[in-house]
Amino acid sequence: MGCRKRAAKNDLLRIVVIEEHCVPDQRGTLPGRGAYLHPALICLDLAVRRRAFPRAFRVQGPLDSAEVRRAVEEISERAAP
């Protein structure tokens, strides 16, 4: 969604919407429409700036992506040596 580059499904973070909040779905088991994003802050910032979340989930208005940001930061910290 952010950088629009292709990657293997297990290299991406699945995002779903629950009550106007974007929620990371790391196990891929939450119900509903999912959108995939690289777990990098650059891709997340691009997706937010382009308003990709409301378009991908077919909803009106902005969505809260704070929980996704926390998950991406956590994933980035684990990946860094």
Q: What is the pLDDT of residues 12-66, one digit of tens each?
A: 999 999 998 999 998 989 999 999 999 999 999 999 999 999 999 999 988 999 9
The tokens for 55 are 């378009």
Domain ranges of the chain: 9-79
CATH class of 9-79: alpha beta
pLDDT in tens, 52-72: 999 999 999 889 999 999 999
Q: Is 71 exposed, middle or buried (0-12, 13-18, 19+ CB in 10 A)?
A: buried
**Residue located via tokens 């777990």:** 39
pTM here? 0.88
